[in-house]
Amino acid sequence: MSPTTYQEKTLIQAMISHGAAEASSFAELFYRCMTLRMADEVADAENALARQWQDAPMVLTRPVEAAVMTAALGMLNEKISWLDMEISTLTFCVDGKVYYGFVNTTADEVTKHATKMSEAQRALFYAVVSNLLETSAELEQDTLNVDDPRSHATRQAIQTIYSSGLEYTEVESLGLSAQGNLHLRPSDVEACVLELADKHWLRLIRTIHNIEYVQLGPRAVLELSEAREWNNNRLMRG
């Protein structure tokens, strides 16, 4: 297997920076990265090695054909498989859009040390994910009981969870109720949630001044197996 090209490395760096990207944005990013020519100063130092790697920009047209992009990503993912990482894709049940993300393919301790987030911030994130998934599962189970007089109300509640998410006050409570060094003040919770939303781990529904609800973001669904299963189940139910 040949080494990654200059263009492929640029695409990986771009995806690390973006976290996750909606399909149309990713296609444009893919086009710009894969047709990139090395800057003169880089080319002077690396042109011999680039020729050895056959490091030539791809010939692409806009819009990029899906089959071409899929084939190129397949080859790139094979090259970087030894890192236990890949550029993955899925349809996100919340908005029905396709997203791409640069994700880990195995869950291990290494990933926890690769983030700049504190232990308390990571704990809050996983608590939010757990609450969203558990609440959805409980509400779904309730609707299976057709004799339950609450069935209509619980169906409405399910739609609220799916379309809105956890109320932000609940997220604040998770941070405030955490013990010891996992405790977060309201200002810390807000900073954490905003950072997670910026990297697409979470999604926010907000007014001009306030965060109203917190949802799972596409990157969480791409990265976390339990969130991906929740997403796939929701898609199958339509």
What pTM was computed for the model? 0.80
Q: Which residues lie below 8 Å from residue 18, measured CB to CB, with a gap of 6+?
A: 25, 29, 200
CATH number of the structural domain spanning residue 73:
3.90.1150.220
> Residues 149, 96: one domain?
no
What's the pLDDT score for residue 77? 95
> Residues 231, 119: one domain?
yes
Per residue in 38-97, pLDDT (tens digit) is 655 454 545 554 444 445 566 666 777 888 889 999 999 999 999 899 999 999 988 899
Q: Are 88 and 222 in contact (CB under 8 A)?
A: yes
Residue 1 lies in a domain: no
Average pLDDT over residues 109-118: 69
Picking from 106, 139, 154, the residue at the C-terminal end of a domain is: 106
> Residues 136, 102: one domain?
no
> Residues 133, 170: one domain?
yes
Tokens of 169: 């006050």
H/E segment holding residue 22: strand 20-22
* The total number of structural domains that make up the chain: 2
Residue 146 lies in a domain: yes
What's the pLDDT score for residue 109? 61
Residue 220 lies in a domain: yes
Per residue in 215-225, pLDDT (tens digit) is 999 999 999 99
Residue 156, domain extent: 115-237
Tokens of 195: 């950072």
> Residues 216, 160: one domain?
yes
Average pLDDT over residues 107-129: 80
d(CA 155, CA 161): 10
